[in-house]
């Protein structure tokens, strides 16, 4: 799991924060941790970089959306590549005036951004019962997803003739110009405003999708939940995410994150099942066997050996959950023995227990019992 701090926490803002407040928060944190202001604090530089990284992601609408959905653990890995975020050189003057925005927007190709060739990935959470997690199940979900508009087959136009090449950008969708930032000159490529980066002008937009070529549609997706699956596992359904915004792209993927309902008495430890069993003092001393219904359909027989102590466990192999991903066999059921205390005692039971106490007393001084208990503990 990622040890990285939450980007919103790094900037000290909440998740609903507006774009302008993100900028404000960044400005103030970046000034606070700027290395020029903290020459003797080696931590400041790391904090400065952390603040930059958080701002780079949260100030970019696409990246923020991905982060909100997946956190640091996004499909396809870190947007920075294997090396992680490298930091950018911002002078402290930039933080008072402006001029830092273009540095950040260029991190993701900013101005030179190409139209996404793939639709967005989607993540939905889906709850399955404990029993289904044991057996595996073929499941089905109905989701609303941005799909290629059926009325215009994604062209966005009412008629096929109604589409013409954008004259402003000659159909490229992008325009390049030279921009001056202080002493620097840089070439900036931006989406063409006339066509919104599409390279096409639609004269008579499709009524169903308002010319966007995509429309929200509900569709059914079928998928298999494998036996033994663990909570938090994400199933990937390739191509079931959003349709791309341009005609040539591919749809994104749909991720279904499985959450497993709690069982009435079992806890999971991987493929092992853990449970606690309250047993009376008499049953611990004399031994007993207890049968309970089990998720595999057969009765689970728990044998408590005579002389068992509370805190000991009884392991029943091969009755836990199936090992996931085609592994053979099953985990174990582990039963923790607990001493069941009676709630209420009748007068006569109390009297019997007092007699019993006299019979059971070892007669040895209490310190001897304490010492032998300690020896036992050290040996085990």
Alpha helical stretches, state H, the chain: 7-11, 19-33, 42-58, 61-70, 92-96, 101-105, 130-135, 281-286, 347-360, 366-379
What secondary structure letter does DSSP report for 13? -
Distance CA 203, CA 198 (A): 13
Alpha helical stretches, state H, 34-182: 42-58, 61-70, 92-96, 101-105, 130-135
CA distances from 24 to 7, 55, 59, 63 (A): 15, 10, 11, 19
Cβ at position 203, least distance to Zn ion in Å: 14
Distance CA 44, CA 17 (A): 25
Which segment (96-104, 189-197, 272-280, 301-309) binds Zn ion by CB under 5 A? 189-197
In the list 25, 206, 260, 332, the residue contacting Zn ion (rule: CB under 5 A) is 206
Kindly tell me which of 169 and 273 has the beta carbon lying closer to Zn ion. Answer: 169
Binding status of residue 195 toward Zn ion by CB under 5 A: yes
**Torsion angle of C-alpha atoms 48, 54, 59, 64, degrees rounded to 10:** 170
Binding status of residue 254 toward Zn ion by CB under 5 A: no
In the list 90, 194, 235, 314, the residue contacting Zn ion (rule: CB under 5 A) is 194
Tokens at 2, concatenated: 């990622």
Binding status of residue 285 toward Zn ion by CB under 5 A: no
Distance CA 141, CA 240 (A): 12
Residue 12's contacts (CB-CB under 8 Å, 6 or more residues apart) are 25, 29
Q: How many CB atoms lie within 10 A of CB 373?
A: 10
Tokens at 100, concatenated: 């830092």
Kindly tell me which of 203 and 315 has the beta carbon lying closer to Zn ion. Answer: 203
Cβ at position 107, least distance to Zn ion in Å: 25
Binding status of residue 168 toward Zn ion by CB under 5 A: yes
Tokens at 347, concatenated: 């007068």
Which segment (79-87, 190-198, 227-235, 289-297) binds Zn ion by CB under 5 A? 190-198
Binding status of residue 192 toward Zn ion by CB under 5 A: yes
Binding status of residue 334 toward Zn ion by CB under 5 A: no
Kindly tell me which of 194 and 316 has the beta carbon lying closer to Zn ion. Answer: 194
Which segment (67-75, 144-152, 316-324, 335-343) binds Zn ion by CB under 5 A? 144-152
Which segment (71-79, 202-210, 328-336, 368-376) binds Zn ion by CB under 5 A? 202-210
Binding status of residue 146 toward Zn ion by CB under 5 A: no
Which segment (42-50, 77-85, 204-212, 359-367) binds Zn ion by CB under 5 A? 204-212
Cβ at position 219, least distance to Zn ion in Å: 16
Binding status of residue 149 toward Zn ion by CB under 5 A: yes
Distance CA 199, CA 222 (A): 36
Distance CA 1, CA 303 (A): 39
Cβ at position 220, least distance to Zn ion in Å: 21
Cβ at position 180, least distance to Zn ion in Å: 24
Which segment (98-106, 152-160, 321-329, 340-348) binds Zn ion by CB under 5 A? 152-160
Q: How many residues bind Zn ion (CB under 5 A)?
A: 12
Binding status of residue 25 toward Zn ion by CB under 5 A: no
Binding status of residue 151 toward Zn ion by CB under 5 A: yes
* 205: three-class secondary structure by DSSP: strand
Binding status of residue 163 toward Zn ion by CB under 5 A: no
Cβ at position 250, least distance to Zn ion in Å: 19
Which segment (88-96, 191-199, 216-224, 234-242) binds Zn ion by CB under 5 A? 191-199
**DSSP secondary structure of 231-279:** TT-EEEETT-SPPPSSTTSB---EEEEEEEPPPSS-EEETTEEEEEEEE
Kindly tell me which of 102 and 168 has the beta carbon lying closer to Zn ion. Answer: 168
Q: Which residues bind Zn ion (CB under 5 A)?
A: 149, 151-152, 166, 168-169, 192, 194-195, 206, 208-209
């Amino acid at each position: 799991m990622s040890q990285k701090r939450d980007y919103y926490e790094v900037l000290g803002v909440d998740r609903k924060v507006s774009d302008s407040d993100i900028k404000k928060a960044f400005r103030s944190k970046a000034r606070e941790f700027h290395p020029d202001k903290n020459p003797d604090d080696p931590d400041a530089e790391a904090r400065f970089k952390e603040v930059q990284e958080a701002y780079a992601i949260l100030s970019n609408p696409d990246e923020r959306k991905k982060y909100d959905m997946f956190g640091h653990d996004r499909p396809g890995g870190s947007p920075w590549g294997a090396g992680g975020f490298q930091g950018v050189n911002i002078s402290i003057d930039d933080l008072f005036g402006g001029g830092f925005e273009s540095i950040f927007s260029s991190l993701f190709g900013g101005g030179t951004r190409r139209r996404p060739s793939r639709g967005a990935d989607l993540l939905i959470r889906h709850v399955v019962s404990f029993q289904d997690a044991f057996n595996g199940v073929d499941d089905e979900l109905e989701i609303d997803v941005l799909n290629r508009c059926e009325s215009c087959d994604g062209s966005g136009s009412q008629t096929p003739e109604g589409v013409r090449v954008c004259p402003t950008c000659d159909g490229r969708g992008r325009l390049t110009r030279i921009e001056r930032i202080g002493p620097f000159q840089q070439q900036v490529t931006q989406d063409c405003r006339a066509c919104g980066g599409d390279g096409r002008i639609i004269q008579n937009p499709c009524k169903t999708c308002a010319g966007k070529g995509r429309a929200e549609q509900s569709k059914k997706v079928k998928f298999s939940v494998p036996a033994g699956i663990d909570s938090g596992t994400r199933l990937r359904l390739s191509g079931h995410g959003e349709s791309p915004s341009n005609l040539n792209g591919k749809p994104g993927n749909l991720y279904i994150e499985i959450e497993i309902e709690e069982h009435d008495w079992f806890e999971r430890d991987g493929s092992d099942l853990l449970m606690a069993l309250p047993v009376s003092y008499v049953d611990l001393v004399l031994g007993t066997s207890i049968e309970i219904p089990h998720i595999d359909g057969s009765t689970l027989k728990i044998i408590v050996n005579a002389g068992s102590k509370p805190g000991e466990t009884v392991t029943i192999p091969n009755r836990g959950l199936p090992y996931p991903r085609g592994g053979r066999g099953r985990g174990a059921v582990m039963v923790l023995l607990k001493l069941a205390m009676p709630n209420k005692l009748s007068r006569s039971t109390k009297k019997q227990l007092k007699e019993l106490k006299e019979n059971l007393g070892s007669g040895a001084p209490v310190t001897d019992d304490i010492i032998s208990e300690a020896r036992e503990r050290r040996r085990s």
